[in-house]
Amino acid sequence: MSPARWVREHPADDRLLAVDVGSGSRVDAHVRDLPTLLRAGDLVVVNDTATLPASLHAWVGGRAFELRLASRITEGSTWAVAFGEGDWRTPTEHRATPPSFDEGDLLTIDGTDVGARVAGVVHGRLLRLRWEADAQALLDAVYAKGRPIQYSHVDRDLPLWAVQTPFATRPWAVEMPSAGRAFGPTVIAALRHGGIEVARLTHAAGLSSTGDSRIDALLPLAEDYEIPLATAEAVNAARARGGRVIAMGTTVVRALESASTSGRVAAGAGTATLKLHATYARRVVDGIVTGFHDEGSSHLRLLAAFAPEPVLASTYAHAQREGYLCHELGDVNLVIA
């Protein structure tokens, strides 16, 4: 499947492939058609996190490297991934080896006095960092010196606006929760007009891929989330009346399923460590809107909790034949279990 190389002028024109696993139906549609593909009483839950400029030029022991944040910025510790020489035009799997790291090493963000100590090293380049600055100082440095994570398949540098969804509020994500990118106010208004509720939560979307198969096998990492009381109540009410809960993206699935007990969602903050798979018994979420992903990616592995492998394989084969576009700026797939 070919990647989308830039944002469409009218995101609601992005294509949407709808699959109902129970009925076996498959519909070629567009993002603007989502209200017609759901039914009154359903609930759509979106992730309202904003995306950080999470790619930083950093130094350790006199050597420069790219540091990509891999988890939410807090006053405690942060996961990050190091990349060696090269720029965004070089696919991550072909980037040079970064400097070597040992526990206790001090690294600094270029052009600032903000630094971090290496608290752990996994596979040579997945780093656990303890920042020697408070969360606000770190956030200021990231916005002053960072830029959005870039992708080799796009036509030009991605500015920060291009990696935000229409729901963006708190800057918790290091990569855009891209499933919601094309669903602007017009589509949301049409959903509500059709009796389909829309609620939100905040989930700190982490890295989806690093180009290193050993690290990618560990993804997704633990990710913070926060579910408002109104959203928890909306989910529980939808289920009680027989409505379906549709997650706008994999992060929403992880948050809702992590916060559920016996099919009810609890409000509040938490950390999602859940990794969904083919045999996972979903407690809350009935369907998902998601992008088209590379084989073996953490996002695609999660989809196995919604549809058996033959259905996913035929869906992707159809999308390939019909020219759907993949990756962060691409088309979307609605899968209802």
Residue-level pLDDT at 183: 97
Residue-level pLDDT at 262: 83
Residue-level pLDDT at 294: 76
Write out the DSSP string of 96-107: PP-----TT-EE
Query: How many angstroms separate the CA atoms of 253 and 287, rounded?
Result: 9
* Separation of first and last alpha carbons in the chain: 24
Q: What is the mean pLDDT of the chain?
A: 94
Secondary structure in 3-state letters for 249-296? CHHHHHHHHHCEECCEECCEEEEECCCCCCCCCCCCCCEEEEECCCCC
Residue-level pLDDT at 297: 66
Note if the pTM is more than 0.85.
yes
Phi, psi of 102 (to 5 degrees): -130, 150
Write out the DSSP string of 313-327: HHHHHHHHHTT--BS
Residue-level pLDDT at 298: 64
Residue 152 half-sphere exposure toward CB, CA atoms < 13 A: 12
Q: Count CB neighbours of 50 within 10 A.
A: 18
Residue-level pLDDT at 296: 62
The 10 Å CB-count burial string (b at 16+, else e) for 185-215 is eebbebbeeeebbbbbbbbbbbbbbbebeeb
For residue 188, give the DSSP letter. Answer: H
Q: What is the mean pLDDT of each run of 10 residues along the chain (337 residues)?
A: 91 97 96 98 98 97 96 88 89 92 97 96 97 91 96 93 96 96 97 98 94 92 97 98 97 97 93 92 96 75 90 94 95 97
Domains plus CATH for the chain? 11-51+157-336 (3.40.1780.10), 55-145 (2.40.10)
Residue 178 half-sphere exposure toward CB, CA atoms < 13 A: 23
Residue-level pLDDT at 144: 97
Amino acid at 174: V
Query: How many angstroms separate the CA atoms of 130 and 268, rounded?
Result: 25
What are the tens digits of pLDDT across the range 308-325? Answer: 999 999 999 999 999 999
Query: How many angstroms separate the CA atoms of 44 and 52, rounded?
Result: 24
